[in-house]
Amino acid sequence: MRQITLFFLLLTATAVVARAQVTPKPTPPPKPEEQQEPVRVFTEEVRLPVAAKDSYGHYDPTLELDDVLVLEDGEQQQIKSIQHLPTNVLLLIDTGNQLGLKDTKLTRDVALRVVSTLYPGTRIAIMQFAMKPELLQNWSTDKEAAAKVLKTKLNWGKSSRLADAFAAAADQFNGTTPGTRHIIIITDGVEAPGGRVSMSSAMRQLNSVQASVHIISYTLMARLTLKGQTKKTSGGDGIQRDGNPASNPVANGDPTLPVGTTRTPSFKIGSVDLDGAMRRKRKEYERATQESEKNLNAVAEESGGQMILPVSGSDLLAQVEEISRDIGSQYVVTYRPTRPLADAKPGEYRKIEVASRRVGLYLRTRKGYVVPGEK
């Protein structure tokens, strides 16, 4: 019995020693002098989207290095490559419908036309926005899937926050190739207050991803619609009606009024002039579209995109293909800047100009870019 007890004691001691031998020791933290400072790493390469068209406005498939002159802050750059690459197109749809002036069916039809006319191989994402942005489809080359999303998932609101939508759109381009980034936005550009992002901040984010912004604007159509409504509202035969039941059995079409009462042109509840309030809203909206039109045009020009201002639904549908052709005509021009990006100040803006060296060739690109941050 004593021998058995001694055997178990020896066995237990051996196991304890074994566990002690295999227990790993914690790795000591690095000493302060061993910790390295973060290294600033820049990709010393600029990739520009450059639209190349002939004198008829058609895509020029023959662009070569010697055809293009690139200036950065007025200094000529040495071009490394010119490529025609598949593009990434984010379709950004404004589903706010302030005053009911945007035709929701027309907006859907325009979006469907955009998808159908983009070149095969284009990667498409779809985002809608009213009071907040919502991604409906992530990047895909499947046009049928994109069309199904547009037919089944669009939801309509009353007002729109464009700045929040621009910021969300910029985030969507993470992981895509610079020079192939495009946003097609269908909007009137009228901004509802209370957004999470200021418009200036959203513009900085857009510039940082260097996406070309192509705008299909409702602004002119909306103003023309308002003018048409104003004419209808102010129309009449110029005859003042009295309250005589024989001549005016229903006072201005309202059977609730007592005999002998004439309704004034403005309809009031208590002290609220509803017609006057609506007129003020229309005036405010008209001024807002004029301001947004200027801002949207500036966004398109700065980014190297374009803006269309249709006057009718049929005109709108007819012009959509022009944007698809424009995107399909773009090359990616790559150069290494003579002034290193690593030497740039934080947030530094560099002005870009492109010029054609060949007769009959017309080029267009963005106005400039903000030097990207550290990677």
Judge whether 245 lies within some domain. Answer: no
Judge whether 96 lies within some domain. Answer: yes
| pLDDT tens, position by position, 79-97 | 999 999 999 999 999 999 8
Output the pLDDT for position 232.
53
Tokens 């405010």 found at: 284
- Better pLDDT: 177 or 20: 177
Judge whether 74 lies within some domain. Answer: yes
| pLDDT tens, position by position, 274-305 | 577 888 888 898 999 999 999 999 999 999 99
Judge whether 263 lies within some domain. Answer: no
The pair of three-digit structure tokens given for residue 206, joined into one six-digit string? 């857009």
> Whole domain around residue 303: which residue ranges?
46-225+280-370
Query: Which CATH number goes with the domain that contains 349?
Result: 3.40.50.410
Tokens 């549908």 found at: 317
Judge whether 272 lies within some domain. Answer: no
In this predicted structure, the answer to whether residue 128 has a pLDDT above a threshold of 80 is yes
CA distance linking residue 24 with residue 19, whole number of Å: 10
Output the pLDDT for position 233.
47
In this predicted structure, the answer to whether residue 106 has a pLDDT above a threshold of 60 is yes
The pair of three-digit structure tokens given for residue 104, joined into one six-digit string? 């929701």
- Better pLDDT: 319 or 69: 69
Range of weakest confidence among 30-34, 102-106, 163-167, 336-340:
30-34
Output the pLDDT for position 159.
87
Output the pLDDT for position 231.
57
Output the pLDDT for position 109.
95
Q: How confident is the model at residue 99 (pLDDT cuts 50, 70, 90)?
A: confident
Percent of the chain with pLDDT over 70: 75
Mean pLDDT of all residues in 118-128:
95
Output the pLDDT for position 258.
52
Count of alpha carbons within 13 Å of 94, Cβ hemisphere only? 30
In this predicted structure, the answer to whether residue 113 has a pLDDT above a threshold of 80 is yes
**Which has the closest alpha carbon to 333: 45, 110, 124?**
45
| pLDDT tens, position by position, 22-73 | 334 444 444 433 333 333 444 689 999 999 999 988 999 999 999 999 999 9
Torsion of CA 210, 169, 126, 298, to 10 degrees: -60
Judge whether 258 lies within some domain. Answer: no
- Better pLDDT: 21 or 212: 212
- Better pLDDT: 231 or 26: 231
In this predicted structure, the answer to whether residue 9 has a pLDDT above a threshold of 50 is no
In 197-214, which positions are buried (b, 16+ CB within 10 angstroms) versus exposed (e)? Answer: bebeebbebbbbbbbbbb
In this predicted structure, the answer to whether residue 321 has a pLDDT above a threshold of 80 is yes
Output the pLDDT for position 49.
94
Output the pLDDT for position 263.
45
Output the pLDDT for position 25.
44
Judge whether 68 lies within some domain. Answer: yes
Number of domains in the chain: 1
In this predicted structure, the answer to whether residue 330 has a pLDDT above a threshold of 80 is yes
Backbone angles phi, psi at 319, to 5 degrees: -90, -15
In this predicted structure, the answer to whether residue 137 has a pLDDT above a threshold of 50 is yes
Tokens 């550290």 found at: 374
Judge whether 3 lies within some domain. Answer: no
